[in-house]
A and B are shown apart, each in its own frame.
Chain A
Amino acid sequence: MKIYFELNGVPQYPEVEPGESLLQLLRRLGMKSVKEGCGTGDCGACTVLVDGRAVRSCIAFAARAQGKRIITLEGLGTVNDPHPLQEAFLDAGAVQCGFCTPGMILVAYELLSRHPDPTPEEVRTAIVGNLCRCTGYRKIVDAVMLAAEWKREGRWR
């Protein structure tokens, strides 16, 4: 089946297999930031934004992308021009192995687009479904708080 969707602002018309997950499709299209940590919807590593909402791509069918706008971490910023959230994760030391990072940043992105002034507790609630085994979460919360501050200061694009 051929579907249409927008991936990081670029139209896509891929052929999808029946039963193919959105995770598999996106990785097949080169979006390697979409990580598989469990494949059962329990870790959040595969999180992407579908029409602005955080979705676990491992338990979503690829066909669900039809007509949607999908954003993966590749769509936020680049090494030479990172998004403030990406910058904040670096500044705060929120990245250890970095495997949970794509999902964390996208969930934070969703949170801050709804709610630019969260408390640390609200940040923790937002990322509760995203497991990180390395950091103990503290510096991830710090990073999101820092990015929120920058957003309120108008430093986001």
Chain B
Amino acid sequence: MAVSVAAKARDVVGQNVHKVDGPALVCGKPLFTLDMDVPGALVGKILHSPHAHAMIEAIDTSAAEAIPGVACILHFGNVPRIPHTTAGQGWPEPSPYDTVLFDRKVRYVGDRVAAVAATSEEAADEALRKIRVEYKVLPAVLSVDEALAPGAPVIHDEPDAEGIYDAQRNIAAAVDIPVGDVDRALAESPVTAEATCEIPYLQHTPIEPHCVIAYFDEDGRLVIRTSTQVPFHVRRIVARVLALPMSRIRVVKPRIGGGFGAKQEIILEPVAGALALRTGRPVRIAYTREEEFVASRTRHPMRVTVKLGAGRDGTLRAIDMEALSNTGAYGTHSLTVLSNVGSKTLPLYNKARHLRFHGKAVYTNLPVAGAYRGYGATQGYFALEVAMDILAEKLGLDPLELRQRNHIRVGETSPIFEKIGEGREGKAQIVRSCALPECLRIGAERIGWKRNRGRRRREGPWAYGVGMACAMQGSGITGIDMGAATIVMNEDGSFRLLVGATDLGTGSDTVLAQIAAEALGVSVDKVLVYSSDTDFTPFDVGAYASSTTYVSGLAVLKAAEDVRRQILDVAAAALEEAPEDLELSQGAVRSVRSGRAVTLADVGHRATYVVDQHQIAATASCVAPESPPPFAAFFCEVAVDTETGLVRVERFVAVADCGVAIHPKQAEGQLEGAVVQGIGHALYEEMLFSGRGRCVNPSFFDYKIPSALDVPEVEAILVPSEEPTGPFGAKSIAEVGINGPLPAISNAIYDAVGIRLTRAPFTPERVLSALRSRTG
């Protein structure tokens, strides 16, 4: 589907314009959720469970309620029980309804027991201390293996849960998708390789923790101002949980301080809403950093095993991938993250004809896993790309060449696209753009692959090595994700662009403004963007699944083309020429025949005040027609201190094909940021738990994310391709970058010192013990 305007030279697309929200952000304007002072707002706080698994026998709030300033305390005894999922996904929701606002049973240390609203922080804190809860402690399940053991305690034994795969066995979701006969193909492959890789509990750590303000507007409607990636899903789920008509709720997303998937969850909004409704007063809730770690969401910890079978020439014949996912106490995103482990990885090596993806997502009495950038693909690529490295060695083939022989190319497809979708079947698609060959070539050159690999360079205790990995992702969820946009022309020839799409710091407001500006022949400052407000912007699923540039971008383009036609009609009347002879660019409509022109300001003025008066405007929607994958190749050089086990990433080159980058600098920024998060996953990050399931390192002091000195200057290189279905040739970039660092660094460590690190993070202790067991 080539777009008519796409073929022309581009004035705005591809330009590094200032972010539309940038000036206000660099000046510290009060743009974020909690920057708004709501007079009379109560402070909301949550009482978290101290036990991993327990029944509440009794709860006594009388002492807490007697504290001056305490307005309301909610708990299972005074709030209706409405099973729902906190996953902010489209309808019908693929995640099980296994959560209620407050339950009699608590399922992890940090689970919600009660919520307090008070006139001051101090009163709220004191109330939390004075709520008396009697627990009957139950045996807890603190690992997936324990959860699956026969006779294990059942975590979700409530009768009203829906959509759990097998509650009695603690299995939230299960998937088994065979293509061909993988067992036979593996048995008959002359060369095989296998890797099992494991990822621990990882937290997104947006620098702004979850926060929300709920208040009432002049008409008594509930307004929820919240740090979310999914305002429209917030509205739908809050309406369900609070049993309010959707029309009584308005959700506003202001600027938000990062999300990375953590804010694709509806956690605080219904609590704040319930407290506000009960008290009739505004309520604000702000998670502390500790709460953000323990009681928001995490990446799904996972153990993934990949078995590869290949011919002696290095052509893959079979890939068997098995994932065991820990979804924690609730099953939010359990099925879809699990499915993505296979669906976003296996198509990359489509030369393999026999495939199987199977796995389970299992409940445990640990924090709740949810969406996290990469969404399962990150876990899958870790194992897949380490297995590819092992296979290359067995074949005596350069790992780079092994990838080159097997990766998918333009015009090709994979049965996986059709077999695995978003918790159901997917849709067949052909890859229409793929610059992975170029990405591989450029990356290898930049890192000096041929020169540096297998050299085992040493300098004192430091051993150097290089490693690589490839990855793809998607651009939205085919046939499910819908985004819409409205464009309204102002009488001075500027435009208002209203989108439900949600900019979480990614720069999507800017990208969408660029798409509109390009199609309307104006500069970006002529497009005023208003986004993410359920009262004023059209629907959009929100920011997840790398969808915004592609799906919402296509909606914006469609709306802009409609508006453009309307402008040409007005201009045609004004110039007394045929619309076909007119061209819109640089703020004016010109006749290619006579050379006469009218400015957009003239057009806007004419339509508003002069002749045939009407509002020039259009609304358009787009449902993801396909999900074109962005591709990336990752190369890194590491130094391993053989005495201490310390690993340093010396250089990291990430080369990505995101189609046409609408805003190259922002696209690079996405890639750089994702890679650095991935380096954090590989080297530092891990939530640790006590024997009773309590997280022992819920702070930036103890859970280390990369600082400016921990990471090298990531070389992010964009290799353009032209995605024919995308807006101006674009596809996504937000997630793909996080899939590379884990395997690339593991493979580089192998190149440096000959040990395979398969359990993240690669801490000095783990590296040392692997070094010792190799020599010992």
User: Bound pair: A and B?
Assistant: yes
Distance of A143 Cα from B705 Cα, bound (Å): 22
Decide if A99 touches B207 in the complex (CB within 8 Å). Answer: yes
User: Which residues of B are found within 8 Å of A38, using beta-carbon distances?
Assistant: 289, 699-700
Does residue B610 face the partner (Cβ distance < 8 Å to A)? no
The residue on A at minimum CB distance from B211 is A36
Distance of A9 Cα from B525 Cα, bound (Å): 32
Does residue B288 face the partner (Cβ distance < 8 Å to A)? yes
User: Which residues of A are found within 8 Å of B16, using beta-carbon distances?
Assistant: 93
User: Which residues of B are found within 8 Å of A31, using beta-carbon distances?
Assistant: 28
* Contact pattern, B 217-246, Cβ under 8 Å of A = 1, otherwise 0: 000000000000000000000000000000
* Contact pattern, A 93-107, Cβ under 8 Å of B = 1, otherwise 0: 101111111100100
Q: A35-B208, A38-B289, A43-B207 are in contact. Are A99 and B32 (CB under 8 A)?
A: yes
**Shortest distance from the beta carbon of B51 to any chain A beta carbon, whole Å:** 25
* Contact pattern, A 62-105, Cβ under 8 Å of B = 1, otherwise 0: 00000000001110111100100011011111011111111001
Distance of A102 Cα from B28 Cα, bound (Å): 6
Decide if B709 touches A32 in the complex (CB within 8 Å). Answer: no
Distance of A124 Cα from B669 Cα, bound (Å): 17
* Contact pattern, A 2-44, Cβ under 8 Å of B = 1, otherwise 0: 0000000000000000000000000000011101111110110
Decide if A101 touches B699 in the complex (CB within 8 Å). Answer: no
Interface centre among A31, A37, A72, A79, by most chain B C-beta atoms within 10 angstroms, is A37
Main DSSP-derived SS at the B contact region: loop
Q: A93-B666, A99-B257 are in contact. Are A134 and B289 (CB under 8 A)?
A: no
Does residue B665 face the partner (Cβ distance < 8 Å to A)? yes
Decide if A135 touches B672 in the complex (CB within 8 Å). Answer: yes
Does residue B25 face the partner (Cβ distance < 8 Å to A)? yes
Q: A98-B255, A99-B32, A99-B258 are in contact. Are A131 and B207 (CB under 8 A)?
A: yes
Does residue A132 face the partner (Cβ distance < 8 Å to B)? yes
**Shortest distance from the beta carbon of A152 to any chain B beta carbon, whole Å:** 21
**Shortest distance from the beta carbon of A112 to any chain B beta carbon, whole Å:** 15
Which of the residues B30, B205, B505 comes within 8 Å of A96, measured between beta carbons?
Answer: B505
Distance of A131 Cα from B685 Cα, bound (Å): 14
Distance of A126 Cα from B675 Cα, bound (Å): 22
* Contact pattern, B 1-29, Cβ under 8 Å of A = 1, otherwise 0: 00000000000000010110111111111
Does residue A139 face the partner (Cβ distance < 8 Å to B)? yes
The residue on A at minimum CB distance from B664 is A93
Does residue A54 face the partner (Cβ distance < 8 Å to B)? no
Decide if A97 touches B208 in the complex (CB within 8 Å). Answer: yes
**Shortest distance from the beta carbon of B211 to any chain A beta carbon, whole Å:** 10
**Shortest distance from the beta carbon of B734 to any chain A beta carbon, whole Å:** 11
Which of the residues B260, B506, B669, B674 comes within 8 Å of A139, measured between beta carbons?
Answer: B669
Decide if B708 touches A124 in the complex (CB within 8 Å). Answer: yes
Distance of A132 Cα from B256 Cα, bound (Å): 14
Distance of A31 Cα from B30 Cα, bound (Å): 8
Q: A128-B707, A128-B709 are in contact. Are A77 and B257 (CB under 8 A)?
A: no
Decide if B677 touches A77 in the complex (CB within 8 Å). Answer: no
Which of the residues B23, B289, B666, B711 comes within 8 Å of A79, measured between beta carbons?
Answer: B23
Decide if A97 touches B668 in the complex (CB within 8 Å). Answer: no
User: Which residues of A are found within 8 Å of B507, using beta-carbon distances?
Assistant: 96
Distance of A106 Cα from B673 Cα, bound (Å): 21
Which of the residues B28, B207, B675 comes within 8 Å of A37, measured between beta carbons?
Answer: B207
User: Which residues of B are found within 8 Å of A125, using beta-carbon distances?
Assistant: 708-709
Distance of A36 Cα from B30 Cα, bound (Å): 13
User: Which residues of B are found within 8 Å of A128, using beta-carbon distances?
Assistant: 707-709
User: Which residues of A are found within 8 Å of B289, using beta-carbon distances?
Assistant: 37-40, 42-43
Does residue B504 face the partner (Cβ distance < 8 Å to A)? yes
Distance of A38 Cα from B504 Cα, bound (Å): 19
Distance of A74 Cα from B25 Cα, bound (Å): 11
Interface centre among A79, A102, A123, by most chain B C-beta atoms within 10 angstroms, is A79
Distance of A91 Cα from B25 Cα, bound (Å): 13
* Contact pattern, B 708-722, Cβ under 8 Å of A = 1, otherwise 0: 110101101000000
Decide if B699 touches A95 in the complex (CB within 8 Å). Answer: no
Does residue B204 face the partner (Cβ distance < 8 Å to A)? yes
Decide if A97 touches B206 in the complex (CB within 8 Å). Answer: yes
User: Which residues of B are found within 8 Å of A132, using beta-carbon distances?
Assistant: 207, 708
Q: A35-B207, A90-B26 are in contact. Are A139 and B675 (CB under 8 A)?
A: no
Distance of A94 Cα from B28 Cα, bound (Å): 14
**Shortest distance from the beta carbon of A50 to any chain B beta carbon, whole Å:** 17
Does residue A116 face the partner (Cβ distance < 8 Å to B)? no
Does residue B576 face the partner (Cβ distance < 8 Å to A)? no
User: Which residues of B are found within 8 Å of A131, using beta-carbon distances?
Assistant: 205, 207, 700, 705, 707
Does residue A150 face the partner (Cβ distance < 8 Å to B)? no
User: Which residues of A are found within 8 Å of B207, using beta-carbon distances?
Assistant: 35, 37, 43, 45, 97, 99-100, 131-134
The residue on A at minimum CB distance from B259 is A97
Distance of A129 Cα from B207 Cα, bound (Å): 13
Does residue B35 face the partner (Cβ distance < 8 Å to A)? yes
Interface centre among A38, A82, A123, by most chain B C-beta atoms within 10 angstroms, is A38
**Shortest distance from the beta carbon of A104 to any chain B beta carbon, whole Å:** 10
Does residue A137 face the partner (Cβ distance < 8 Å to B)? yes
User: Which residues of B are found within 8 Å of A36, using beta-carbon distances?
Assistant: 286
Decide if B666 touches A98 in the complex (CB within 8 Å). Answer: no
Does residue B701 face the partner (Cβ distance < 8 Å to A)? yes
Q: A38-B289, A78-B27 are in contact. Are A95 and B700 (CB under 8 A)?
A: no
Does residue A115 face the partner (Cβ distance < 8 Å to B)? no
Interface centre among A36, A77, A89, A134, by most chain B C-beta atoms within 10 angstroms, is A134
Decide if B22 touches A90 in the complex (CB within 8 Å). Answer: yes
Decide if A97 touches B504 in the complex (CB within 8 Å). Answer: yes
Q: A40-B699, A97-B255 are in contact. Are A79 and B260 (CB under 8 A)?
A: no
The residue on B at minimum CB distance from A42 is B700
Decide if A136 touches B27 in the complex (CB within 8 Å). Answer: no
Does residue B676 face the partner (Cβ distance < 8 Å to A)? yes
The residue on A at minimum CB distance from B678 is A136
Distance of A129 Cα from B668 Cα, bound (Å): 24
Does residue A140 face the partner (Cβ distance < 8 Å to B)? yes
Which of the residues B27, B204, B699 comes within 8 Å of A42, measured between beta carbons?
Answer: B699
Beyond known contacts A101-B28, A134-B207: 6 more, CB 8 A cutoff:
A82-B26, A93-B19, A98-B31, A120-B713, A133-B206, A134-B258
A–B complex contacts, Cβ < 8 Å, 19 sampled: A32-B29, A37-B209, A38-B700, A40-B701, A42-B699, A73-B28, A74-B28, A79-B27, A93-B665, A95-B19, A96-B258, A96-B669, A99-B257, A124-B709, A130-B708, A133-B207, A136-B675, A136-B677, A137-B711
Q: Which 3 interchain pairs have the tightest Cβ spacing?
A: A33-B28, A97-B505, A99-B257
